[in-house]
Amino acid sequence: MKLHRLGIVLGAAVSIASVALGAEEAHHGAHTPAVTDLIFPTINFVLFIWIIARYVMPGIRKAVHDRRDVIVNALQEAERAKAEADRLRREWEARIGKLEQTAAEMRAQAVVEAERERDRILAAAQKTAEAIRRDAERAAAYEVRRTQQLLRSDLVKRALGLAEGQVQTKWSAGDQQRSIDDFLKQVQS
């Protein structure tokens, strides 16, 4: 196949060169070129084409193929990115559409939680008030008992003071001795 192409290129080069020489001859008339004037440039041209086809074209083909692959990959990546962007756009549009509903749900949930917290605070306040009331009742009862004891103690002291004053003024030495003897008898029995 490559040889076939090379033959076609060589034939075309020789034909073009022959036509060019024929046109040149017709124009100048008397000058006839030598065969070597046509063969060496044609061989030179064919060698140049062969070197280009053999060594340069594979690199160019590879570069073009690689560039094509890069472009195809970039287009595929761009298509994927566009699809992802479209998906994200639709997702965000749906979220924005649900924003009012979500906000209403959040408000309702906040109201429920606030009521629950209010009930908890009220229950804690009632427990605290009950504890304070019980403590106040205990403190009041303690104060009543303490005051009663103080009053009794004061009353006993006054009664003893009055009794002592009475004993000292109204009791004689014989009454005192009799009272002491009666007390000792009661203690001994």
Helix (H) or strand (E) holding 140: helix 99-170
Higher pLDDT: 81 or 166? It is 81
Q: Is 49 exposed, middle or buried (0-12, 13-18, 19+ CB in 10 A)?
A: middle
Which range has the worst mean pLDDT, 22-31, 51-60, 140-149?
22-31
Three-state secondary structure readout of 15-48: HHHHHHHHHHHHHHCCCCCCHHHHHHHHHHHHHH
Higher pLDDT: 62 or 173? It is 62
| pLDDT tens string 121-130 | 999 889 998 9
pLDDT number for residue 20: 57
pLDDT at 83 over 90: yes
pTM for this entry: 0.34
pLDDT number for residue 22: 57
pLDDT number for residue 14: 61
* 172 secondary structure, DSSP code: -
**Residue found by looking up tokens 């997702």 in the block:** 91
Q: How confident is the model at residue 93 (pLDDT cuts 50, 70, 90)?
A: confident
Q: How confident is the model at residue 104 (pLDDT cuts 50, 70, 90)?
A: confident
| pLDDT tens string 54-72 | 898 999 999 999 999 999 9
Sequence spans of domains, the chain: 2-97, 98-147
Q: What is the mean pLDDT of the chain?
A: 82
pLDDT at 25 over 90: no
Higher pLDDT: 27 or 56? It is 56
* 53 secondary structure, DSSP code: I
- C-beta neighbour count of 6 within 10 angstroms: 15
**Residue found by looking up tokens 């594979």 in the block:** 58
Mean pLDDT throughout 160-168? 77
Helix (H) or strand (E) holding 132: helix 99-170
